[in-house]
Structure 1
Amino acid sequence: MTGSLFQCTAADLATKNPDTLPPDLSVGEAHEWLVANEYDVAPVVTEDGPQGYADIEILSEAPAEAALQSHLSTISLANIISSDAAFGDVLTALYETPRYFLGGRNEVTGILTRADLNKSPAYIHLFDRLSTLEEQLAELIIQQDIDWKTTVSFDDETVKRIGKRHQRAQQANIELAEIHYAQFSTLTRIISEFESCWRACGFSSPGSASRQLNELRTLRNAVAHSNLVLETTSDGVLEQGRTISDLEQIYRTLQQCLAALG
């Protein structure tokens, strides 16, 4: 299944051919340039190739008149990521470190940061999988022969809206089973209330199913409405909104469900 879905790699997300700094600047000049361009980091390059990178946090603590070359950070294997790293690997890597460099022959070809997860390739990648999961959840409910209209306490308006969408599809000769016209939130509620369904998705309890499916629903809404997938690029306990660790866990749930139902 995954082979037919949209793949998103580190190269798809990274800022390509990033601006670079010469090494003969002062710390103050380099810091001013980073601030003016709204960069956190930038490679420092000579004719011989990359010499390291300037980090705005480090420079802000160094004397402004000092030589930039004395306050460079090293570009090492620890902060280099393969251009073909898959989306899940990108999430894991960015959880560990907030930025990476992509490289070619003695050159920096890209910079990947947590903020890049809010770019369109990530949205397409996630939407493809969330849409597939939505179809699979509807099919699971059909396969389990769930009498969802009478056994789940939906309000009358929810059932009516589903019925109207189904009726319009019938009139257009593009009819599917009625459950396919339910919203994602409706599907996840049904799944979390029936043991045969939540176990089929790989969950261990109804509480776990309800919580994790709700997180998937929230992510789906963000993707569908082009809201931020990653709501904060830091990961402190005081931060509000979806963090990199949250996104990594939700994506793991998504992959788990797809694998269980695929």
Structure 2
Amino acid sequence: MGFQLWYSKHTGIRRKGTSFAELQDIFIENITTKYIFEPLACCKITDNTYEVKSTLEQRDFDTLGVVDENDQKLGYVVQENLGENSIENYIEKFEIAIVISESTPLSELFEILLDKEYVYVLSKNSVNGIVTRADINKPIVRIYLFGLISLFELHLNFWITENYDEESWKEILNPGRIELAEKIYKERKGNNVQLTLLECVQICDKREILRATDKFRDDFEFSKSAFKKLLENVEKIRNELAHSQTSIIANLEWTDFVNVIKSMKEFLIKSEEKIEA
């Protein structure tokens, strides 16, 4: 019954605000890099190079913008490149490959940062900001990721119910996992008459159910190992979000983190196409 909160098998009607496209629209049209970038700290071209390097080290910054006597930006310097000469010898220009607009959607930012630790942000016709991988930990990004993972789990539930009659999926799990799910079910049920046992099953159990479901894996072109790895990494991110950890990417390499987000999005697009076909 729980999945009918977003999709009715009887009517084929999707509930408003439950599709991946709608989730993406919110974060493409309204929630952008504008809401998470930091102002770009700057030094003057006349500043002492040693002092600039010391400032970067103290603040744990990799880069600073450089301005002239009239506060016009000339470019930027990178800490590791600074030597003993004057600042003007180390100024680099803001090339298009390392500058994004403040209107860049959050949903695109992960892949932009795939091979870069940070990018500069164009705001009000000038490079006034910087966004780094660390900014992914900010609340508004967590909201997007939580929504993405929640929708991903709803789709997993849907495909389990599509491939199994009632609770026949229980045969795949060991008795201990079923016992845990039933315990959670009893604790959560209360007056929630629509709650199902499946909704009380952990994501690691859903992984094992669908991993053992040949039709599902064939339909979505998953190998057993690839599906297992994807669900393990999704679970890592979800746990970091649920426990409000300082860093939600601490347990994953950045490349793996970005690929998990990309894979979830690709799965949701394909899943919705199949559901609505």
- Pairwise CA RMSD of aligned residues? 2.1
**What is aligned with 2:49?**
27
Give 2:258's aligned residue: 248
Equivalent residue for 1:211, pick from 229, 240, 250: 229
One-letter amino acid matched to 2:79: I
23, 32, 36: which is aligned to 1:9?
Answer: 32
Gaps of 5+ in 2: 1-18, 273-277
Q: How far does residue 83 in structure 1 lie from its aligned partner after superposition?
A: 1.7
The counterpart of 1:129, out of the listed 129, 148, 152, is: 148
> Are residue 58 (structure 1) and residue 77 (structure 2) matched?
no
> Does the residue aligned with 2:42 lie in a helix, a strand or coil?
coil
Query: How much does 1:197 deviate?
Result: 2.5
Please list, as runs of the form range in 1=range in 2, the aligned pairs for 1:150-229 lying within 5 A after superposition. 150=171, 152-156=172-176, 158-200=177-219, 202-227=220-245, 228-229=247-248
1:226 and 1:2 mapped to 2: Cα distance?
Answer: 24
TM-score, reference length from structure 2: 0.80
Moved more, 88-97 or 109-118: 88-97
User: Aligned-pair distance for 1:26?
Assistant: 1.8
* TM-aligned CA deviation for residue 179 of structure 1: 0.6
With the length of structure 1 as denominator, give the TM-score of the two structures: 0.84
- Given residue 66 of structure 2, which amino acid in structure 1 is its aligned partner? V
- Letter paired with 1:113: T
Q: Which amino acid aligns with 2:47?
A: L
- Deviation track 1:34-57 (CA, whole Å, cap 9, x = no partner) reads 122221111112326211112111
Deviations 1:211-247 (A, max 9, x none): 222222222222222332333xxxxxxxxx5222111
Cα 1:105–1:176 change in 2 (3 A) is closer
Secondary structure in 2 aligned to 1:96?
coil
Distance 1:25 1:41 in 2: 15
Q: Distance in 2 between matches of 1:211 and 1:170?
A: 31
Task: Note the alpha carbon deviations across 1:29-77, whole angstroms, 9 max, x for none.
Answer: 1111112222111111232621111211111xx11xx211221121121
In the aligned structure 1, how far is the partner of 2:271 from the partner of 2:185? 24
Amino acid in structure 2 at the alignment position of 1:54:
V
Structure 1 spans left out of the alignment, 5+ residues: 232-240
Aligned to 2:122: 103
Aligned length: 245
- The one of 108, 120, 140 equivalent to 2:139 is 120
Q: Which residue in the other structure is 1:85 paired with?
A: 104
Q: Indicate how the Cα distance of structure 1 residues 199 and 86 shifts in structure 2: closer, same or farther if over 3 A, else same.
A: farther
Q: CA separation in 2, counterparts of 1:87 and 1:253? A: 16
- Per mean C-alpha deviation after superposition, the further-off stretch among 180-189 and 6-15 is 6-15
Aligned to 1:45: 67
Is 1:257 the counterpart of 2:275 in the alignment?
no
Name the aligned partner's letter for residue 260 of structure 1.
K
Partners of 2:108 and 2:34 lie apart in 1 by 12
- Paired AA for residue 154 in structure 2: E
Counterpart in the other structure of 1:235:
none
Q: Percent identity?
A: 20
